Every structure is written in structure tokens, then in C-alpha cells.
Structure 1
Amino acid sequence: MGYYHFEVTDFLEDRYFKSWVFTPSRESCEFWDNFLLTHPEKAEAITSAKLVLLGMRTEMEADFPTDGQVTAMLDEIQSRKNTASRFPMRGLWVRLGASLSAAAVVLLAISWLRQPDRHDSHVSYEELLSAVEAPLTEQTNTTTAPILLTLPDSSTILLQPKSSVSYRKDFARHALREVYLSGEAFFTVTKNRRRPFVVYSNELVTKVLGTSFLVKAFEDARQVEVSVKTGKVSVFPRTDTEVCEGIAQPELAGTIITPNQKAFFSREQVQIRKELVDSPEILASAVLPAPLLKFQDMPVSELFGNIEQTYGIDIVYDDRLLGQCLLTASFTTESLYEKMDLICKGIEANFEVMDGRMIVSGRGCN
């Protein structure tokens, strides 16, 4: 059952959902508890639909709403929504922000539909919606340049064009600082170990305590990309129930991404792979040791150690074969990849990037 794609109105029509609301069993309670753990972003829609059904039961003397009643109600709402041209509901708002509003619209519509003179009523869809406050604050960048947003906790978001973010209006009071992203954004998160910062982007979840990182998650893209500038983040699919259960805890679980690393999440295969960013940079925290520019007869093990500390990247090699190889060279403006290429040529070795690390292999030095 594809409940992940359900909105409030879909839950209202689903017999299994209605059965759980009115006559919960151990099996149905376990199912919906597990579903909410896996898809926490659907909590608003489920809570809203549940409130609507309980309100309908009160109105209809504890009877299940018939399919005809629900269908008529939804048709009426949809008809009025189609005529409400001045109230567009698009993109991220439709998926994430409309849950509570839709529930309130349904509740109001129930009352309206039960009025004897409802056919003579001129209540508009806009008037129904105006009675409800949107549960989420949404920001959409419709310009051609990035815009900088500041969240209530002083974290910032550099939002790229054609991208949207959404977050609760009471963002600052929740144990989890949750943001929903569609598109591309660079986050600089204010550190707070007791209140993890969580970004939901398509099927991927990114959790941090305080760091800066980039997320690319466009609707039509086959994969989601997360790259880290400072600190570290954990990424995991929403289907990872074990990790989702502990999402409010300060510990980072899932796949850990550190500076100069990035993760690609395949939406089709539901897999995460780590790589290095295209242009690794010297870490701002790497004051000591300073990057080596000139060296003579230096053991490669020392050179690799310097690179690991200044770039925050692991270099894997056989120390017995390569560690004591001596190298003399000087660097100027070479990138990390160019440096590694020169080093490997000097010791007759090769390197490749695998799982966010550099793997060096060679015959060794006599």
C-alpha cells in the first residue's frame, strides 16, 4: 500500500485507515506506529485525517461515513478549489504544508454539506481556507539568484533559484529542528546538541547537530546529493526504521559524511554511496600542521599524513610497501587530485577514490 503518497483526503477514503481510527487493533496500531516512524513527515496528514474522522463520527452519530458522503464532500472541495484561481497551492506546499489546512477545510465542508439549505449557500473555497492558519512557513526562490534565509534558531539557508524550503511556524520550540527541502540549498546550522537539525529531501534524511552542508534534491532528479563543508552529518533513507527511531537523539547514525565528502542517494535503488567533492579544500580548522609545499627525501607516510590532516581525507595504503618511499618535490597551486597524481607518479603507484577515501596501490620501493 503506497501510503507515503497519501494526503489527508486520501486517508479519509481508505478503509484500513478508517478501521484503525474507529476500531483499532494490535495489528493496525503496530502498522501505523511503524509507518509514522518511517515517515515522520506524514504525521500532520495522519493526525488531521484522524481528527476529521472522529469529528465526522460525532456529527453522524458514531456511524462510518459512507463512500457516497466522503466522495460528495471531496468532490465539492475539489470543485471549489478549481475555481479558486487567486489561491494557488503548488510544489512543496501541496506535499507538506496543506495537511492541516485540508483537514480544517474538510471539517468546515462537513458542517456546510449537512446544512439543509447548502445548495443555496455561497461559501467559497477561499473563505473556508481563510479560517485556517497554514501549519508551515514556506519560502520559495522565484528569482534568478540565491537568497539568504535566517531561521528562528539563527541557522541560515542559502536557497538557490527554483527551490523551496518549509518549516514549522513554531520551529524554535520543537525538540527536532525540521526543514523540508525541494531543490538546492546550502545550510549553516547553529550548533545545538540537544536539538538535532533534520532536513527531509525527497526520500533522504540529513541529520546534523551544527555544521554547514549542501543538499541538492530536485523533484525530477534520480538522486539526492549531500556534501559537507564543515562538521559532519549523517544521511539515511526514510525507510531505515532503526535510524529513524532514534532521530531525536544527539548521536549521528546512518552514513556519516565529513568535510570534503559527499553522498549520493539513488532514489530508484534506495542506496547511498560516498565520494569526495570535486574540489577538496584545505580545512579551515587545519592550522597545524600547515600544508607541505616543499620537501626533500621525505617518507611518503609523512606526506600522506600531512595531506590527511589538512584535507580531512583518509588515505589507505600498504605502509610496508610504500611508507618508506622517499620523495622530493614542491607544490604551488595544485589541487588535491593533482598533488596525489604527482606523488603517485614519483613512487610508481596509482590512486583511486572509493567510499570517500583515497586508495593508493603500487609495487613499493626497494
Structure 2
Amino acid sequence: MKRIWIAAAMVAALLTAATALAHARADRADGTAGLPKRALIGYLHASFANGSGYVRMADVPDAWDIINLAFGEPTSPTSGDIRFTRCPASECPDVESDEEFAAAIRAKQARGKKVLISIGGQNGQVQLTTTAARDAFVRSVSQIIDRYGLDGLDIDFEGHSLYLDQGDTDFRSPTTPVIVNLISALKTLKASYGDDFVLTMAPETFFVQVGHQFYGPGAWGGDARRGAYLPVIHALRDDLTVLHVQDYNSGPVMGLDGQYHMMGGADFHIAMTDMVKAGFTVGDTGHTFPGLREDQIAFGLPAAVGAGNGHTPPAQVHQALNCLVKGEECGSYTLRGGTSPNLRGLMTWSINWDAFHGWEFMNSHEPFLNALP
């Protein structure tokens, strides 16, 4: 009888282990391995101070679950050769050594945090116009990731990095080289590093939600950048960990209710995030962009008034989260995509600006996120 009990216990233990392994594999397959249900995501000025002061990696509070190192930038807009240069001591007197920086990254990772290299930013225009630039991008980004043992990559292409050529009207099958080559490069990096590779994106609303109303240059030669992130997001949707659109530095954007929404309040975050969850028709192309999984979605906002246009008071951010997660406090807006109980969280520009302003963003939002069901 005792032997039978032992055998049964061993079978039960094996089944438990197999179930845990299956769940772990499932987590890796959808790109969420190691992330908490709610994540606080921030950019760390690692290459510059930007008027907000330098924050050493070791001094970043543990409330931050994903730390995006800002920024890796190209040697020229079309080279694809990305370089990551630490902030010089002349600008950042408190900057740590490379060895201390790498050790602090490892310490963060040991506590379950993810550290990524963010490519682009306001000044880092990246246009992969050729396959040679694509290959240089893959090679140089890999070198940065390997040098510091990073967990992945954030794409923060702004300005004129992405655009659509005339006649490129189907986001499902793009033909514009800067888009085709970026998709290829990101797929190569993901395949090289495997399922645990964290891939995030931080497009502006002009490159995503504005694509609902206008896509690319159109027949009359409008701005070729409208909606230009959509083919990249769509092609990488099975590899994408988090999309956190910048709900700031934005003009009015038409939502799924046919109304224009203005940044700076709960309504904007609700409407813009609902578009990403529900999906939307793309311009006059006749195609529909399918929504993302809710666990792939966060939204971004400035950490303080001085960090960017569109700062939202904490109470308004919490109202938006209550609407998106629980369907409460939505005001006059009706969620087309339904509630998102597994919404990933919040992104901010930036950790440095939050430190400069006494950690208001972190102290306001991290406890609120963790208290959500």
C-alpha cells in the first residue's frame, strides 16, 4: 500500500511539473515570460541628461518593471548602424563606469526586471532603405544587447523614420523598403534570441490611430507617415510583448466613436487604447487592422508637466484605467473592444523626469496598478 501511495505521489508530482512547464512554455510563446500582470515601464536617459539630471542604473527603484535605455542611434539616418553611447561625465557628473552599469543591469534582472535598448527617439532617425542597412541594424543591435546582457529591444521610431510609398495601401503586405526591412530585421532578432526576447514599441498616435482616418499619402499626396507603424505592428503581433503608444505630443485624433479626442485627460487614453484593443478600419483602403491581445497593450504619458505635452493628472489616469480594465468611469465613451482585465500597464517618459519631480508618477500609479483586479 505504501509503494502504491509513493507511486501515486510521484505521478502527481510529475503531472504538476508538466503543467508548470506547459504554462511556462505558453508564457514564452506569447512573449510575456517574466513580466508581472501589470507593468510600470519607463525610459532611462542613459546617453544624456536632458535637463532632468542623471539617474544611475543602480538607483532606479524596483517599481519599474521594464527599463528602456534611451537611446541607441544610427551613425547616419540610412546606415542602419546603431550605436549606444553612455552619457559623458561632462554632462552627467554622476555617471557610473561601464562595469558598474553592467553589474547594475544584472542586479535588476536578478530581481525580475527587464532592461531593453530603445532605438530611435526624437533625434535618432532610422531609415532602413536597403538590405545592407537592415543587416547592419541586426548586427549592431545584437552587439549592444550582447555587450550588456539586455533582455530585448524597444522600437521608438519617430519623425521621418517610417513612411509609406505611394501605392503601398495594404498594411498586411507592405512594399515600402523602410518598413519591409524593419520587419525583417525584427523577425531576425526575435528568432536569434528566442521566445524570451522582449520586444516593445512606442509609436506616436500619428503612426497608429491616425491611420484609422488616413493611411499613408493617399491619392492626393498627404503625409506619408500616417499609420506607417501599422504594418510593423501587424507583422510582429505574434512576437510583440508590449505596444505602448505615446498618448502625448499629439494633435486631436478621431476615435471609433467618430469624435475627435484631445490629449491630457482620461477620455484620450480610453479612446486611443480602445482602438488598439478593438481594431479599426484603415483609411479608405477597405482593410481592417485587427486589435491586439489586451496583455500586449499599455499606454504612455509624460511623467510630469515638463516632460512633454499631454501630461495627465493622476486621478484622470486612474479613471482611464478603471474604464479600460473594469468598465467603470468611462464617461460618455462606450468601449468597442470591451474591458481589458489583463491590460499590461503604463509607460512614461521618463524615469529621469519622474525622479526630478519627486517620483510622483511612480508613487501615484504603481500602487494603483497593483491594486487593480
Higher Rg: 1
Q: TM-score range by the shorter chain?
A: under 0.3
TM-score (norm 1): 0.26
